[in-house]
Copies of this chain bind each other. A is one copy, B any other.
Amino acid sequence: MKTRRDARSVRPVGVIRSGLKIRKGAPRQGSEGAPDAWLEVHAWAAKGLHRISRGDEIIVITWLHKADRRTLQVYPRSDPETLTGVFATRSPDRPNPLGLHPVTVRSIRGRRLRIGPIEAIDGTPVADIKPVLTCARAS
């Protein structure tokens, strides 16, 4: 019988393999000169990749494992003078450190996807992969 906590435990479906090794060196967003990286999907989840193709635009959802989950307010780059709630920012430090990364699938080798650009560091667990949001309302 699973506990409720177990029922909400993120089981990584894969991992990011990147030349970015430490958080300090990582761009804040993929659009800020981030490199391409490999998304290695674990064998048990590989069936979930069926019909993902080279050139697809996808959203990779990562679990930012180096984040401080106790952080609720930060001073964002956009306004370094102004304390701001983490839900109004992209700070990796937040109660559930989920990262959203819109990327392009550059190539596919078995269960390894070459994706980018992406600012996530090497070893970052991947929680989910989705088609891009339609941006009619989000833009």
* Residues of A in contact with B (beta carbons under 8 Å apart): 5-13, 30-31, 45, 47-52, 56-59, 61, 63, 65, 69, 72-73, 82-90, 94-96, 98, 100, 102, 104, 125, 127-139
Contacts and interface: CB of A to CB of B under 8 A. Distances in A.
A96 B132 contact: no
Given A49-B88, A100-B130, 18 more contacts: A5-B6, A6-B9, A8-B10, A8-B125, A9-B9, A45-B72, A47-B85, A50-B83, A50-B84, A50-B85, A52-B85, A58-B87, A59-B100, A61-B100, A87-B130, A90-B130, A133-B133, A135-B139
Contacts of A135: 102, 133, 135, 138-139
A33 to B, nearest CB: 13
Instruction: Give the number of times this chain occurs in the complex, counting copies.
Output: 2
Contact of A96 (B47, B104, B128): B128
Contacts of A61: 61, 96, 98, 100
